[in-house]
């Protein structure tokens, strides 16, 4: 069986995944930062530096996604991961139902094909 992956496909897929992960990490960083600020442990200067760095990160991520034209890829990966996570949690809560639930998770994703 021949597999025709062309560069464009692969780029979209890989970049979509990578940027989705980057966004998720960025979200975690942001949450951490907000917690620290609310705990009152940071000086004004530190807050300023943190906020500025995160703002730059946001902008950089936006830019890459826009330039590479992968907005949809990223959305789909994150959406798929949400469904996947949801299904996994459901399975943990109701293991007997697990079989049915995982079968219905059709919207995710494909196993990675090594060329």
Partner 1 sequence: MEPTRETHATFVDLLDRVLDKGLIIHADVIISVAGIPLIGVNLKAALAGMETMLEYGMMEDWDKAQRLRAQEKVKEEAILLKA
Partner 2 sequence: MNEEQKLMSQEVQEQGRYLYCVGKAPTYLHNFGKIGLEGNEVYIISAGKFCAVVHDCKAEPYKSNNEQKVKKWIQTHQKVIDIATRRLGTVIPFSFDVIIKGQCPNDEVIHWLKTEEDNLKQKLDTIEGKQEFGIQIFFDQELLRQQIMNENTQIQKLQQELKKASKGKAYFLEQKIKTIVQKELEAKTNFYFKDFYGQIRECADHLKVEKIKKVNTLLNFSCLVEKEKVKKLGAALDRINKFPFSVKFTGPWPAYSFV
Residue 49, binding choice from partner 2, partner 1, none, Cβ under 5 to 8 Å by partner class = partner 2
* 47, containing H or E segment: helix 44-68
Q: Which of 18, 21, 26, 30 forms a contact with partner 2 (CB under 8 A)?
A: 30
- Smallest gap, in angstroms, from Cβ of residue 110 to partner 2? 15
Within 21-60, the residues that bind partner 1 by CB under 8 A are none
Q: Given the complex with partner 2, which of 34 and 93 has the nearer CB atom?
A: 34
Q: Which of 7, 14, 35, 94 binds partner 1 (CB under 8 A)?
A: 14
Using CA atoms, how far residue 19 sits from 30, 31, 76, 103, 115, in Å, is 16, 18, 11, 27, 22
If one asks whether residue 84 binds partner 1 (CB under 8 A), the answer comes out as yes
Nearest residue to 63 via CA among 55, 5, 82: 55
Residue 12 binds to partner 1 (criterion: CB under 8 A): yes
- Tokens encoding 55: 């703002």
Residue 72 binding partner 1, by CB under 8 A: yes
Cα(84)–Cα(81) distance, integer angstroms: 5
């Amino acid at each position: 069986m021949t597999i025709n992956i062309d560069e464009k496909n692969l780029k979209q897929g890989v970049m979509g995944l990578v940027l989705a992960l980057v966004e998720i990490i960025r979200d975690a960083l942001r949450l951490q930062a907000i917690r620290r600020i609310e705990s009152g442990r940071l000086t004004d200067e530190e807050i300023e530096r943190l906020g500025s760095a995160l703002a730059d990160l946001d902008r950089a991520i936006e830019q890459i996604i826009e330039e590479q034209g992968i907005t949809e890829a990223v959305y789909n990966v994150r959406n798929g991961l949400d469904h996947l996570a949801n299904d996994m949690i459901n399975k943990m809560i109701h293991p007997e139902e697990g079989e049915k639930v995982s079968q219905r998770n059709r919207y995710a994703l494909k196993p990675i094909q090594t060329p």
